[in-house]
């Protein structure tokens, strides 16, 4: 029996299945035949759940003592942030990193605003 199903949903390069739903895409991606994509999909779900925009995974370089990093963008500032995968990687860690970035941009914006106000006077 031949299927006429054509995947139309793509999440991080993973074609959707099961009616082109998010769950279908996840089910299609999480399979023992493709463990690397399964891991990336799970990491993407964790990052998106925490409020970031998943970018990818930077592979570990053990010969240089560098772990793998999960890369994600701040949704407002579009800064690319990273967290090491081998140290307490969680939604809380991602939210903390996003908040830290937000704080840096807020301070910078406050400094610019104060500088602009002085120039106006």
User: Which two structure tokens, joined as six digits, stand for 77?
Assistant: 């500032």
SS3 79: coil
Write out the DSSP string of 51-62: T-EEEEEEPPBG
Q: Which of 37-41, 46-50, 51-55, 110-114 has the lowest average pLDDT?
A: 110-114
Whether the pLDDT of residue 80 is over 60: the answer is: yes
Degrees, nearest 5: CA angle 39-69-104: 125
Q: How far apart are CA 65 and CA 102, in angstroms?
A: 29
Local confidence band at 24 (pLDDT 50, 70, 90 cut-offs)? low
Whether the pLDDT of residue 116 is over 80: the answer is: no
Q: Half-sphere exposure of 106 toward its Cβ, with a 13 Å CA cutoff?
A: 6
As a whole number, mean pLDDT of residues 40-47 equals: 92
């Amino acid at each position: 029996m031949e299927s006429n199903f054509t995947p139309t949903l793509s999440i991080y390069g993973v074609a959707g299945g099961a009616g082109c739903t998010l769950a279908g895409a996840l089910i299609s991606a999480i399979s023992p035949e493709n463990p690397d994509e399964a891991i990336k999909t799970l990491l993407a779900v964790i990052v998106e759940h925490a409020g970031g925009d998943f970018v990818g995974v930077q592979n570990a370089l053990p010969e240089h003592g560098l772990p793998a990093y999960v890369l994600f963008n701040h949704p407002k500032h579009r800064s690319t942030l990273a967290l090491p995968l081998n140290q307490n990687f969680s939604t809380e860690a991602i939210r903390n990193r996003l908040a830290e970035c937000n704080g840096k941009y807020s301070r910078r914006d406050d400094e610019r605003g104060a500088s602009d106000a002085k120039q106006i006077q």
